[in-house]
Amino acid sequence: MAETELERAEKRYAQAKARLQALKNREATRQRKLDTRRKVILGGALMDLAERDSNAAAMLDRLIRNLSREQDRKAFTEWETPSPVPTDEDAS
């Protein structure tokens, strides 16, 4: 039996809808990966700054102590907050 024009249109519609959903899923995945990358970069930058700046070290310590999820706090149980390394400028 031959496909009617309506059936062909419904089939094209379903295919277009599936392509649109696939595009949305890819974009959402891309955004999540970008968000994760930003967090990793900022976290590394904060850790690096904490090694040079006592205010940043205190902020990092405070952030860790105030993590709300137990599983997140556990990730830091054996980790020590960086403390600023004294420089020649600090001796003056």
* Per-residue model confidence (pLDDT) at position 90: 55
Q: How far is CA 14 from CA 11, 17, 21, 56, in A?
A: 5, 5, 11, 53
* Residues 82, 73: Cα–Cα separation, whole Å: 16
Is residue 60 pLDDT above 70, yes or no?
Answer: yes
* Per-residue model confidence (pLDDT) at position 30: 98
* Residues 71, 50: Cα–Cα separation, whole Å: 23
Q: Averaged over 14-41, what is the pLDDT?
A: 98
Segments making up each domain of the chain, as ranges: 5-76
Structure confidence by residue, pLDDT tens digits, 76-85: 888 888 777 7
